[in-house]
Amino acid sequence: MITSGIVETDAAEEFIEEIEKSQDVLPKKIDANPKTVEKGLAKLVLTLIELIRKLLEKQAMRRVEAGSLSDEQIENVGETLMKLENKMEELKEIFGLKDEELNLNLGPLGDLM
Amino acid sequence: MKLYLYGIIDSSNQIKETIYGLEGAGVYNIPFCDIGAVVSEIGQPIQEATEGAVLEHQAVVEKLMADFTVLPVRFQTVIDGRDNLLSMMQSYYKDLKDNLERLHNKFEFGIKVIWPAGKVKENIVKAIKSNEQKMSESDASASKRFMKKKFDKYRMDKEFEAKADKFIKVMDIFFSKFTAEKRIEKLKTENLLLDAVYLVEKDKVSNFREAFEHIKSARPDFKYLFSGPWPAYNFVVLSKKSGLLREPEQADLFDKVTQSQTLVGAKII
C-alpha cells in the first residue's frame, strides 16, 4: 500500500496553467487604500450593476427561447439591453476597469459571477 | 516554548519513526485522551510561506499518514506552549474525535480533467447553425441584431454547460461506486472541466484507480491529473470554527504544493 502521495499526469504544464488561471482571476481582497478608494468603490458598485444587468439579460434570453416575446417586445428589450451595455462600457472606461475585474470572491460560495 | 502543529492523529502513543519537521526539529506526539497532537518545537513563528517550508510540513503529514488517521492542520499553525495546546484539544475533542472516526482508513484523491473546450464549442456552433433559428437573420434593426448575438451566446453557454454536466455525470458514476465522499467543481476555467476530490476507503483504492484508468481510456482526447493518496484535507468538518484546520482560503497554498510535486516528485506518465 503506497501512502505517500503521487501526482500523475501527461499534461503537467497545462494543468498548472489552468489552475493558475482559476486562482489569479480575482484579487483576494478589495484594494481600499486612500489613493484608490474611488476606484474600489466604483468597482464594487459596477460589479453589482453588472450582476443585475446579466440577470436581466439571462431572463430576456430565457423568454426569447420560450417564444414568449413578440417581435416588438424583442425590439424593445434589445434596445434597453444594448443601451445598458453601452453605458456600462463607458463607466468601465471612466474608472479604468476591465470585465474580469467586475466580480467578487465570496469565499466558500465561490465567485459572484 | 512555541509548538508548531502538523496534525491531529488517532493515537495517544508516541510516534515510533523518527521524523524531522520544520527547522530540522524532532516531531513528537502530545497525547490528549485517546488522540494526539503532532508537533515540533519552533523558535520563531514562520513569517513567510516558502515552498520549502510548505513541503516540509506536507512531508511530516504524509509520514504520519502511513501509520495513523491524520487531520492535517493548516500550514503555519504555531501554539504558545503545551498548556494552550491541551486546552485547544479539550475544547475541540469531540469534533476532532468525530472526524478521526469518520476519516479512519480513508484517503483523499484528486482528479482534474481538461477537455478540448475550443473543439466542444466549435461543435456546438455547428449544431446551433444547423438547427432552426429563433430569430431571422434578415431582421436588420440594431437592437434585434444585438438580441440575436446575445441569444446565440446564451445558447452556446447553455449547451456548453450541459455537455460539461453530461461528461461529469458519466465520470462520477464510475468514481462514486468506490468513494465515501466527494467534492466536485465544474468548469473552474473553460478548459478545466472537472476539479474533484474523492474520499476513498483503503480497500477500495485499487478499484478507484481502475475506474480512473477506464475513464482515461474511454476519452483519450481529454487530459487527466490523478493525485493521491493524501490525508483528507478537504473532508474535515468542524461544528465550531477553530481556525486551525485547513479552510478554503488555504486551498491555494496546498494546491501549490500539488503543483510543486507535479514538477519535482511526480511520476509523469
ipTM higher than threshold 0.85:
no
- Cell 486546552 belongs to B87
Q: Give the confidence band of B183 by pLDDT, cuts at 50, 70, 90.
A: very high
Shortest CA gap B43–chain A (Å): 28
Q: What is the mean pLDDT of residues A9-27?
A: 82
Please state whether A5 falls in left (phi above 0), alpha (psi between -120 and 50) or beta. Answer: beta
Does residue B221 contact residue B88 with C-beta atoms inside 8 Å? no
CB B28 within 8 A of CB B38: yes
Which residues in chain B are closer than 8 Å to A107, comparing Cβ atoms?
248-249
C-alpha cell at A51: 450582476
Instruction: Pick A8's closest partner by Cβ from B143, B226, B229.
Output: B226
B248 touches chain A (CB under 8 A): yes
What does the alpha-carbon distance between residue B22 and residue B2 come to, in Å, rounded to a whole number? Answer: 13
Q: Is the pLDDT of residue A111 over 90?
A: no
pLDDT tens figures, B203-230 = 999 999 999 999 999 999 999 999 999 9
* B183 lies within 8 A of chain A by CB: no
pLDDT tens readout for residues B237-259: 887 655 556 543 333 333 433 43
Tell me, what's the pLDDT at B61? 92
pLDDT digits (tens, 9 = 90+) for A67-86: 999 989 999 999 999 999 99
Residue of B nearest to A7 (CA): B227
Q: Locate B149 and state its grid cell.
A: 448575438
The arithmetic mean of pLDDT across residues B165-193, rounded, is 93
Residue B82's pLDDT is what?
A: 93
Rounded Cα distance between B100 and B95, Å, is 9
Indicate if the pLDDT at residue B198 is higher than 60: yes
Query: Are the C-beta atoms of residues B92 and B35 closer than 8 Å to each other?
Result: no
Q: Which of B234, B243, B257 is nearest to B56 (CA)?
A: B257
- Min Cα–Cα distance to chain A from B150, Å: 8
Contacts of A76 (CB under 8 A, 6+ apart): B143
B52: number of Cβ within 10 Å: 10
Which residue of B147, B159, B255, B261 to mutate against A (max A Cβ within 10 Å)?
Answer: B147
Q: What is the mean pLDDT of chain A?
A: 83
Contact A37, B251 (CB under 8 A): no
pTM of the model: 0.78
CA distance B186 to B184: 7
Interface of B with A in 117-156 (CB under 8 A): 134-135, 141-144, 146-147, 150-151, 154-155
pLDDT, position B50:
82
Cell numbers 456552433: residue: B125
CA B176 to chain centre: 16
Question: How confident is the model at residue A85, as a pLDDT?
Answer: 93
**Most distant pair of Cα atoms in chain B: their distance:** 79
Residue A90: band (very low, low, confident or very high) from pLDDT cuts 50, 70, 90: very high
* Nearest C-alpha neighbor of B104 from the set B73, B75, B65: B65
Residues B159-183 have a mean pLDDT of 94
Lowest-confidence region among A28-37, A41-50, B26-35, B185-194: A28-37
Q: Which residues partner with B198 through β-bridges?
A: B109, B182
Asked if residue B32 has pLDDT above 60, the reply is yes
Q: Are B225 and B195 in contact (CB under 8 A)?
A: no
Q: CB A15 to CB B262 under 8 A?
A: yes
State the average pLDDT over residues B94-106.
94
B78-80/B2-9 β-pairing: antiparallel
- B227 to A5: CB separation less than 8 angstroms, yes or no: yes
